[in-house]
Amino acid sequence: MITTITLNAAIDQVYEMNSLMLGETNRVLQKLQQGGGKGINVARVIQTLGGEVFTGGFVGGPNGEKIKALLNEEKMQTGFIQIEGESRICLTVSNKQTKEITELLEDGPTIHQHEWQEMLNWIETQTERSEYFVLSGSLPKGVPMAAYAMITRLLKQKGVRVALDTSGEALKQGVEAIPFIIKPNEDEIVQLIGKQAVAQDDLIQAGEKIQELGIEHVCFSLGEKGALFVNRSGVYQVNAPKINVVNTVGSGDAFLGGLVYKLSKGGDCTDAYKWAVACGSANAAEKEIAKVQKETVQSLIKELQITKIKDR
């Protein structure tokens, strides 16, 4: 069993438009709506691939009820903590003419201390049925900045493997707790190491330094440039397949979903790395967020090459 946590869950809405003109009336061609937030997105991909997954987090108010209803329609296994505040809405606007994606993200609710403690209690109970936990996304107000570090240490004491995908100070403190997997993008690695890491050599050097702390898999998702992976045996590069890009929102979550799914099945890490890139790419070819097609993923895997570019 894999459990994913979304501390700042949302209703994800996608507006597809012919064009977007600021200061003018714009007509929406199509509206898509689903329960979202990074951990939920990861769970959706794992479920699509055939994995057993449970997803939890905070939900509140009418938006929270809508999130639960939407996920129930997808037959996802959920266990949310009910809060006093209102869950957020995140809006993605897709411009068909320019192919530009615009995101409008609400901050979300403030979490009270008793709600946070209830979450920690729930997580500890959930360790009895989970081998992997995925901790993803931003932290809502009221939750300590060390939240992911606290959860990671709790889970490791129970023998659970942790995948962490966040940014800023939450990522920095989370890394200090030594999760099993981290998946920063280029912007997040810049925040993490405090220098402008733009060249491949910079990423490799940063990845090796982080991996030496004890993190088993350091994964850099690089969009159309594919991905870099650093583990104890070396540094691996996976190319990105050629796709018709429709909506890249959620591709990082799909990437992590594919990676954790394959590792949880006992797959070789090189196979898991290819599944990660294939899932991220498959997501980018879809209008909806983190709704990959398994057949597409399997087809894309055949196009991928993994190269060990450095021994360690």
Nearest to 306 by CA among 202, 205, 234: 234
Q: What single-letter amino acid sits at 123?
A: I
pLDDT tens, residue by residue, 267-301: 899 999 999 999 999 999 888 888 899 999 999 99
State the total domains in the chain. Answer: 1
The answer to whether residue 306 scores a pLDDT higher than 70 is yes
Distances in Å between the alpha carbon of 218 and those of 48, 124, 165, 214, 241?
24, 25, 11, 10, 21
pLDDT tens, residue by residue, 90-107: 998 988 888 888 999 999
For residue 149, what are the contacts with CB-CB under 8 A and spacing of at least 6? 173, 174, 176, 177
0.85 exceeded by the pTM?
yes
Q: What is the DSSP secondary structure assignment for residue 137, as one 8-state letter?
A: S
Tell me the C-alpha distance between 222 and 81, whole Å: 34
Q: What is the DSSP secondary structure assignment for residue 303, as one 8-state letter?
A: T
- Note if 271 is an active site residue: no
The answer to whether residue 197 scores a pLDDT higher than 70 is no
Q: What is the DSSP secondary structure assignment for residue 128, as one 8-state letter?
A: G
For residue 27, what are the contacts with CB-CB under 8 A and spacing of at least 6? 17, 18
For 196, the token pair is 């402008």
Domain enclosing residue 139, as ranges: 2-311
The answer to whether residue 145 scores a pLDDT higher than 90 is yes
Catalytic residue selected from 201, 253, 268, 311: 253
Strand order in 30-36's β-sheet? 30-36, 10-17, 88-95, 101-105
- Reduce the DSSP state of residue 92 to 3 states and report it: strand
For 184, the enclosing helix (H) or strand (E) is none
**CATH code for the domain in which residue 243 is found:** 3.40.1190.20
Pairing of strands 227-231, 217-221: antiparallel
- State the pLDDT at residue 3: 98
Distances in Å between the alpha carbon of 304 and those of 8, 240, 273, 307?
34, 7, 10, 10
